[in-house]
C-alpha cells in the first residue's frame, strides 16, 4: 500500500478524507490524491541495486589452505 495525500475533501475507502490528510491507499490513480511515498511500487523492488561485497581479497577456506585435518 502506498501513502497518499488528499488534495480536497473526498470520500475514499468508506471514509471521509479531509484536505491534506495522509493515508494508505491501494487503488487506481486518482487526480485528487498525491503520492507521498518514494514512488517505488512492488514491481520496482527488483530494480534496486543488490548489495555489493566489500572490496579486497577473499578469505581462504580451510580446504583451500591445505590444513587437512581429517
The string of pLDDT tens digits covering residues 14-54 is 999 999 999 999 999 999 999 986 555 555 544 555 566 66
| Domain boundary assignment for the chain | 2-35
Q: Given a cut of 90, is residue 61 above it in pLDDT?
A: no
| Confidence band of 60 (pLDDT split at 50, 70, 90) | confident
The SS3 of residue 55 is: coil
| Confidence band of 70 (pLDDT split at 50, 70, 90) | low
| Confidence band of 57 (pLDDT split at 50, 70, 90) | confident
Pairing of β 15-17 and β 10-12: antiparallel
State how far the alpha carbon of 22 is from the alpha carbons of 13, 26, 33, 39, 59, in Å.
13, 13, 9, 15, 49
Amino acid at each position: 500500500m502506498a501513502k497518499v495525500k488528499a488534495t480536497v475533501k473526498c470520500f475514499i475507502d468508506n471514509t471521509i478524507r479531509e484536505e491534506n490528510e495522509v493515508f494508505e491507499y491501494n487503488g487506481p490513480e486518482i487526480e485528487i490524491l498525491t503520492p507521498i511515498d518514494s514512488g517505488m511500487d512492488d514491481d520496482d523492488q527488483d530494480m534496486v541495486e543488490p548489495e555489493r561485497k566489500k572490496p579486497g581479497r577473499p578469505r581462504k577456506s580451510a580446504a583451500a589452505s591445505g590444513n587437512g585435518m581429517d
